[in-house]
Structure 1
Amino acid sequence: MNIAFSSALKSLHLNLDRAGNWLAPMTLRLFIAWEFFESGLEKWQGENWFADIQDRFPFPFNHVPATLNWELSMWAELICALAILIGLGTRLSAIVLIVVTVVATAAVHWPADWSTLSELAQGYAISNKGHGNFKLPLIYLAALVPLLLSGAGKLSLDAWLGQFFWRRNNR
């Protein structure tokens, strides 16, 4: 019985590994695409409020006009979200969205004042209660890093194009 259980467990692990190569990156891509496309659409349909926080943008974005920052952010969120959704240029799109997220965290979500780690930890929240609210941007970064490091996965245009060009170059 122990041998049968061990064999079943190995088979389960093998099947989960196979499915993971397809589904794990796709799950991250769907999550990231939804979140960033939604944010880009809000900018598309909304009023530019970046002028109100321009002084809080990190270098070099604090030297870029607020209108251009708004446009860059909006188009990066819309285009990179779609690219990540279909798995095309995933690593480049992940880098762009990491930059957008870091800038947004510095300008909007990071606490204005903190002197201890316990004060900073109060900003690890969804809503800002006077201590910042960097929980969601941190979650986005945690989802973007695997896409940057490992790519879009097997169910993507990146993988399909890679196979197409690999086969073509090895003939």
Structure 2
Amino acid sequence: MNRWLEQSAKPLAPLFLRLLLAYEFGEAGWEKLGGDNWFAEMGFPFPFNLLPAQFNWQLALWLEIIAPIALIVGFMTRFFSAALAVLTIVAITTAHWPAEWHTLTELWQGYSISDKGFGNYKLPLMYLFMLGSLTLSGSGLFSVDVWLQRRTLPVSAEQ
């Protein structure tokens, strides 16, 4: 069983992460595509606070549309995972982190799915760790990245 998992199933792990993250971020992108810009009411961290809210909205919207497509096929997985990680960090600091906390116990109350006055950074933090895994490990065997890498490797003189 262990041998089968290592040889056959292990390459599926990044694919599962890519598909889950593509769905979650794609859903957020499609919601923004048809919605109103509510970024003007947000306090963005540096350097995004230097940019107009409309630019930040468009940046997030198109990243959440394009990156999921790239993740599905496994194209530029490390780049798009890192870009979505930055987006997620910005989202945590602007929308999901508790507005106010004085103790670690109060902060820990924000580690939840729904905001009950203490923030709700659990899901974005989980996405951040998944994105970190893809950024560090790459797209996995079933991806355009690997296909391109195999096509562009120089042919050895010994072959």
* Bin for the TM-score computed over the shorter chain: over 0.9
Asked if 1:32 is matched to 2:5, the reply is no
CA shift, 1:14, in A, is: 1.1
Asked if 1:52 is matched to 2:41, the reply is yes
Equivalent position amino acid for 2:96 in 1 = H
Q: Which is richer in helix?
A: 1
How many residue pairs get matched?
157
Percent identity among equivalent residues?
Answer: 48
Query: Could you say which structure has the larger radius of gyration?
Result: 1
Alignment partners' CA distance in 1, 2:142 and 2:54: 37
Q: What's the Cα RMSD here?
A: 1.0
Alignment partners' CA distance in 1, 2:111 and 2:72: 28
Matched residue, 1:62 = 49
CA shift, 1:146, in A, is: 1.1
SS in 1 for 2:140: coil
Alignment partners' CA distance in 2, 1:73 and 1:36: 10
Matched residue, 2:111 = 124
Q: Deviations over 1:105-143 (max 9, x none)?
A: 000000011111110000001111100000110110121
Alignment partners' CA distance in 1, 2:96 and 2:15: 27
Q: How does 1:99-118 map to 2 (within 5 A)?
A: 99-118=86-105
Which 4+ runs in 1 deviate beyond 6 A? none
Of residues 65, 73, 83, the one that matches 2:70 is 83
Instruction: Return the TM-score normalized by structure 2.
Output: 0.95
CA shift, 1:19, in A, is: 2.6
CA shift, 1:169, in A, is: 4.4
Structure 2 unaligned blocks of 5 or more: none
Matched residue, 1:14 = 3
Matched residue, 1:170 = 156
CA shift, 1:20, in A, is: 3.4
Structure 1 unaligned blocks of 5 or more: 1-11
Change (3 A) 1:110 1:32: same
Equivalent position amino acid for 1:16 in 2 = L
Alignment partners' CA distance in 2, 1:18 and 1:36: 30
SS in 1 for 2:11: helix
Matched residue, 1:140 = 127
Equivalent position amino acid for 1:125 in 2 = S
